[in-house]
Amino acid sequence: MAEVNPYQSLRTQIEEAAEYLDVAQGQIDRLKTPERVLETNLSVEMDDGSIEVFRAYRSQFNGDRGPYKGGIRYHPQVTRDEVKALSGWMVYKTATSDVPLGGGKGGIVIDPSDYSESELERITRAFAVELTPFIGADRDVPAPDVNTGQREMNWIKDTYETLENTTEPGVITGKDISSGGSEGRVEATGRSTIVAAREAFDYLDKSLEGATVAVQGFGNAGWIAAKLIYEMGADVVAVSDSSGGIYTDDSFDPAAVKQFKRETGSVVGYPDAAEELSNDQLLTLDVDLLIPAALENAIDESLAHDIRADIVSEAANGPITPAADDVLQDDDVLVVPDILANAGGVIVSYFEWVQNRQRFYWTEERVNEQLDTTIVDQFWNLVDAYESRELPSLRTAAYVVAIQRVISAGEQAGTWP
């Protein structure tokens, strides 16, 4: 598979959407470029007394609509361009969802499985020290991402509050409930992916009952998406993780597969599977719904020609390259774009931030109802833009709507030296 630069993918998506807008080129250039990028080296003592150095980044892409918002990932493949791209997608994700936040993203180049919990805590706190001058409830609000979770967010919150001598739970989201986190946050990304898919089925006048579903990636978003759509009556016929995939002629119970993965480290080898298959084979199965829930660029132009799903709901960020998007459009595959489908994480992060500011906390039922309403409203808003403007795809519609919202906020604020 050819390597695709995610930052260039983002810029291409913005440029394609801009063709349908009457916007000055200078505005578009501004919306393709981050406002600032922090690049830092973390020198951290290991358990054996040695020192290791870790490269880390935080990109603040655009804050016209509110504080920068976006996750922090720990992964050996983190790059400056990846972080820039992800922070840009966050701008358009928050705008598509119509929550009053901007876009940011961070990451450390690290494989966390190689380090002890105490080492990870020191690495995380070292990064939090570097981030402290740049973050805050009204400036930049990080969150979990790949290989990070409540534990790391709690460490960052504590480091920030200690250095600033304050109590500010809204400095970060995705925290543990007892540290100011929100009910419903853990399931939010998978839930929004399925709510968006449900609306797509409705749009195409297709039934979810008995629909066949394949899920690539069985981390938090993927397995939650599988569980929720299974509970809606769909048949989850294939799932995969980084080790490979499994297929059945009937339907998997995602909860049982998840338990097997917890016990063995992979879905591969699950006893009720009819056969094993590669991730690429899973992506090309003849199913009603495909959910790519792994990393970006999973579907490139070459693989796109073999995609046979009717609907794709993107749980991952940027799983389809721009060239692959063109192929899927030509083949009439309805793609619900990541900046809406997986926006549940940032939407519920926004709810968490609101609750932190008010010091008043919601029930899980209220969180889920509010998330459902937000996704449904914005899905049909995209459909309206898609049809009324005769746009080529829902992704283009999402960028058209989002760019308009960001530009409007920027114009209202004005420009001054």
Write the DSSP symbol of residue 134.
T
- Strand-pair category, 334-336 with 244-247: unpaired
Sign (positive or negative) of CA dihedral 294, 299, 305, 309 = positive
Q: In what order do the strands lie in the sheet with 244-247?
A: 275-277, 244-247, 235-241, 212-216, 289-292, 311-313, 334-336
Show the tokens assigned to 53.
């150095």
Instruction: Describe the crossing of helices 80-97 and 394-413 by its angle, rounded to 10 degrees.
Output: 90
Show the tokens assigned to 204.
């195409």
Nearest to 139 by CA among 68, 87, 55, 79: 68
Write the DSSP symbol of residue 20.
T
Nearest to 143 by CA among 368, 349, 294: 349
Catalytic residue among 84, 93, 105, 261: 105
The angle subtended at Cα 301 by Cα 298 and Cα 306, nearest 5°, is: 85
Distinct helix (H) and strand (E) counts, the chain: 15, 12
In whole angstroms, give the CA distance from residue 399 to residue 406: 10
Residue length, the chain? 417
Residue 117 Cα to chain centre, angstroms: 25
Q: Is 93 a catalytic residue?
A: no
Number of C-alpha atoms within 13 angstroms, CB side, residue 373?
A: 7
Show the tokens assigned to 295.
């990393």
Spell out the residues 6+ positions from residue 162 whose beta carbon is closer than 8 angstroms to its own. Answer: none
CB distance 346 to 353 below 8 Å:
no
Residue with tokens 């760019």: 403
Show the tokens assigned to 148.
């990070």
> Would you please indicate which residues are annotated as catalytic (active-site) residues?
105
